[in-house]
Amino acid sequence: MLTWNRPRAVTGKATDSASGPASRARSRRGLAARATGLRGLPLATLPLPRPGPILGSMSDFLQALSERVLIADGAVGTVLQDHQLAEVDFDGYDGCNEILNLTRPDIVRAIHERYLDVGCDAVETNAFGAGAVVLGEYELADRVHEINLAAVRLAREAVERYSTSVWPRFVIGNMGPGTRLPSLGHIDFEILAGYYAAQAIGLIEGGVDALIIETVQDIL
């Protein structure tokens, strides 16, 4: 799991130093330029905004984790299924739970609030399948950034309702394994890494406290 302090204000200019912001931006663009997306969509066409700086001090999330056990939420997808949503709720993308961040934000936010209401310290974004691999299967690969930003916003809105100075709550950016394995030749590893980078940037820019890559497998 990756964590950092969410920046509140960022000032200053990009530099050309090897480790500076401009260099990091060039690295991301280079990774994007080398990857070709699903259905012929180049990853370079996906928005890759620069996230805020990763600060050297301990994040609020890690500070809380060092003091006590933090309880995260449970499943989101299966709870969504309990709502018996109609095709119109998915805006024609039946089965794409992540599009609900845009079409039914009320339901997604309410699920986060249910977990917080019973005492969870952190909720995961509704972004398990919000990478370009899965969204590309719905011809939504060009909306990766938009959908991940929306996922964070809904989780953050719920968390802000429950957080206090005594009991802070947190948002974890969730990234699933997708549906294609490099070890089986489904997808090139570098392309898959580029897709993860694009999703992570959306989650970080949205303001998550940590990232989790879950249910990853390599059956060989």
Q: Is the whole-model pTM more than 0.85?
A: no
Whole-number pLDDT of residue 6: 57
Which carries the bigger pLDDT value, residue 216 or residue 204? 204
Rounded CA-CA distance 113/72 in Å is 12
The 3-state DSSP class for residue 124 equals: strand
Which carries the bigger pLDDT value, residue 214 or residue 99? 99
| Beta carbons within 10 angstroms of residue 172's beta carbon | 24
Rounded CA-CA distance 145/124 in Å is 17
Q: Find out whether 169 and 122 touch, Cβ atoms under 8 Å.
A: yes
Tens of pLDDT, residue by residue over 9-59, are 332 333 333 444 444 344 434 433 333 344 444 444 444 444 444 444 468
Tens of pLDDT, residue by residue over 186-201, are 999 999 999 999 999 9
SS3 content of the chain, % helix, strand, coil (to 5): 50, 10, 45
Mean pLDDT of 198-210: 96
Domains of the chain: 59-213 (3.20.20.330)
Rounded CA-CA distance 162/156 in Å is 10
Tens of pLDDT, residue by residue over 127-186, are 999 999 999 999 999 999 999 999 999 999 999 999 999 999 999 999 999 999 888 889
pLDDT over 80 at 1, yes or no: no
Q: Find out whether 189 and 182 touch, Cβ atoms under 8 Å.
A: yes
Which residue pairs, CB below 8 angstroms and at least 24 apart, start in 16-19? Answer: none
Rounded CA-CA distance 183/201 in Å is 25
Rounded CA-CA distance 90/43 in Å is 25
Q: Find out whether 18 and 63 touch, Cβ atoms under 8 Å.
A: no
